[in-house]
Amino acid sequence: MNSLNLFLQFLANGVVTGAAYVLVAIGLTLIFGILNVVNFAHGEFYMLGGYAAVTASAVLGFPLIPTLVVTVVFLAAFGMAAEWLVFRPISGRDPNNAIIASFGLSILLQNGALVVFGAQPQTWKTDLAELPVQLGPVFLTGQRVLIVLITVVLVAALLLVLRYTWTGRALRAMAQHPVIAQISGVNVRKVAVVTFAIASALSGIAGALMSSVFMVQPTSGAMLVMKAFTVVILGGMGSIGGTVLAGLGLGTVEAMVSGYVGNEIRDMIGFLLVILMLLVRPRGLFGQSTERS
Amino acid sequence: MVMIFIYVVLAVSLDLVMGWAGQVSFAHAAFFGIGAYTTAIMQRDFGTGFWLNLPAAMVMAGLCGFLLGLPALRLRGHFLAIVTIAFQTIVYLALSQWTSFTGGQYGIEVSSVSGFASIERFYYLAFGLSLATVVVSWLVTHSRLGMAWQAVRDDEVLAQAIGLNTTASKLAAFVLAAAFAGAAGVLVAHHIRGVTPDDFTILTSATIVAMVVIGGRGTVWGPLLGAVVFMALPELLGAAARYKLIIYGLLMIVMVTMMPQGVFGVWARRRQK
């Protein structure tokens, strides 16, 4: 393979990973933008999505589409439950409490998964996993193409919902000014529940799809949530467009670094970028201005 | 028992940052690790002993705390938490990947402290250090600096308005806490006779945070209690010890939602009434 083809292959791999980052990070940025909550347990929603898919397909024998549906329904319900049990009681108080509580939830879910599913990594086997797809000089499996396609569809759907439906308007109103939104008749509790359901479902789909490419294990959400935070900060908290760009960007940069420089420093790149970004331009590339000091 | 003392040092010092100065830090295990690796590398490369390594590790950890705090403490709440987590992760990755310097996943062996080789003698050493931490923390928090921290915690704008240098006082809390964490790192390295990166992960940080939160933020005794309870918990649970982390997580959620002041905070408030 010549160097251009190699470059294109790295680029394609980067876009696939980036697409998963986008799905997870959009949920995070919604929760932050609308509810002003930083959810450190978001990676565990991703991990649970992976296990939901593995369980639905391996244990219950569901094919691809019903498995995804099951994952979405389960994770949406799970997000609602998390909002109700953990985040509602502490809303409106010191934001540090939400950080600590979601961290506790993250530890709880990680180790709960360890007890229930074991430490052995598992894979969701689909028919698409071995189907080769060739785009010019680039080879991908069908599964990887599916990840990108689903991400595109979901992001487009989300943007349409936010733009044109009543619920979408309520969500955006909450993000802009919670008090006025409430005065205008937005049900804040409902908005919080809906936000968590959407965010958790998106993250779950990402986890389900990625569990067929990489494996799912109890700790697989932990690194991913850090990546998602990186993406959200780079793109700007609360900005969906920024999140999409930053997610694809991070995925690509990581693929390039691990391809040309070495796998060891791949995971460090993002964190160094975050620290730099927070110092230079804390609201991210496309974020609205946020409080800082 | 020695581990209890080590975690007392960690929890009480983290409380200076979290409870008194009101800043979140998920990087405490990184400073703990920096201290431990400083002592291990100094002993390996220069053959120095405990009494030289201890101040060196404290300075090293304090310096790293300074370097992280300098930019990070201008940020607030969520952003500070994320930067500390990013820092924690970078330190962990450096410890585990930079094999030629840190020994990678295998870590480095550390010999015991001469004169304190037996477990009883070492026990007194650890006890002494944790006692020193508690005493210093108590003195500092009841000094002018401690009052400045509380002012920053309760209302940063107001603190600034009355002429406090809020960044400097937050930085002081950060550096002091990091130095103590470094000292705890030296102890743990000599106690378990080696260092491996997996002892200094984000989970360790979260555990220390949990100790502080459950014990009660902003009280010297709360984190002390939290550390003792947390370290004793696996022993008490016996067969249920494999659910240790689940219980930690659950406790963190329940405590923050039900009693954010922590056990000791609630008790202290009751007594005031």
pLDDT digits (tens, 9 = 90+) for B37-92: 888 888 777 777 777 778 888 888 888 888 888 777 777 667 777 788 888 888 88
Q: How far apart are CA B242 and CA A88, in angstroms?
A: 30
Residue B95 has pLDDT above 50, yes or no: yes
Which of helix, strand or coil describes residue A139?
strand
C-alpha count within 13 angstroms, C-beta hemisphere, residue A262 = 5
Q: Which two tokens stand for residue B166?
A: 């809020």
Amino acid (1-letter code) at residue B83: V
Is B249 within a domain? no
Which of helix, strand or coil describes residue A141?
strand
Residue A292 has pLDDT above 50, yes or no: no
Question: Do B249 and A107 form a contact (C-beta atoms < 8 A)?
Answer: yes
* Residue-range definition of the domain harbouring residue B58: 2-201
pTM for this prediction: 0.78
**Cβ–Cβ of B75/A282 closer than 8 Å?**
yes
Residue A128 has pLDDT above 70, yes or no: no
**Cβ–Cβ of B252/A86 closer than 8 Å?**
no
pLDDT in tens, A40-84: 888 888 888 888 888 887 777 777 777 888 888 888 888 888 888
**Cβ–Cβ of A100/B213 closer than 8 Å?**
yes
DSSP-assigned states of every residue in A156-183: HHHHHHHHHSHHHHHHHHHHH-HHHHHH
Q: How far apart are CA A91 and CA A179, in angstroms?
A: 14
Number of continuous H segments (helices) and E segments (strands) in chain B = 13, 2
B129 vs A95: which has the higher pLDDT: B129
**Cβ–Cβ of A226/B85 closer than 8 Å?**
yes
How many residue contacts between A and B have a Cβ separation below 8 Å? 122
Residue A284 has pLDDT above 70, yes or no: no
What's residue A62's pLDDT? 76
Q: How far apart are CA A266 and CA A250, in angstroms?
A: 10
**Cβ–Cβ of B213/A111 closer than 8 Å?**
no
Residue A291 has pLDDT above 50, yes or no: no
Number of folded domains that form chain B: 1
Residue B12 has pLDDT above 60, yes or no: yes
| A4-22: b (≥16 Cβ within 10 Å) or e | eeeeebbbbbbbbbbbbbb
Domain residue spans of chain A: 16-218
Residue A28 has pLDDT above 80, yes or no: yes
Work out whether strand B194-195 and strand A132-135 pair parallel, antiparallel, or are unpaired. unpaired
Angle value at C-alpha B127, between B124 and B128, nearest 5 degrees = 85
Q: How far apart are CA B52 and CA B143, in angstroms?
A: 29
Is B42 within a domain? yes
Residue A122 has pLDDT above 60, yes or no: yes
User: What chain B residue is nearest to A222 in terms of C-alpha separation?
Assistant: B202
B94–chain A nearest CA distance, Å: 9
User: Which residue in the set A89, A109, A233 is minimally distant from B257, CB to CB?
Assistant: A89
**Cβ–Cβ of A104/B250 closer than 8 Å?**
yes
Mean pLDDT of chain B: 78
Question: Do B154 and B22 form a contact (C-beta atoms < 8 A)?
Answer: yes
> Confidence band (pLDDT; 50, 70, 90) for B246?
confident
Residue A278 has pLDDT above 80, yes or no: no
Residue A286 has pLDDT above 80, yes or no: no
Question: Do B133 and B180 form a contact (C-beta atoms < 8 A)?
Answer: yes
Max mean pLDDT range (A81-95, A132-146, B83-97): B83-97
Rounded to an integer, the average pLDDT of A263-270 is 72
What's residue A293's pLDDT? 30
Contacts of B71 (CB under 8 A, 6+ apart): A275, A278, A279, B83
Q: Which two tokens stand for residue A141?
A: 């499996």
User: What chain B residue is nearest to A263 in terms of C-alpha separation?
Assistant: B97
The ipTM assigned to this model is: 0.70
* Residues of B within an 8 Å Cβ radius of A: 22, 24, 26, 71-72, 74-79, 81-83, 85-87, 89-90, 93-94, 97, 202-203, 206, 209-210, 213, 242-243, 245-246, 248-253, 256-258, 260
Q: How far apart are CA B114 and CA A162, in angstroms?
A: 67
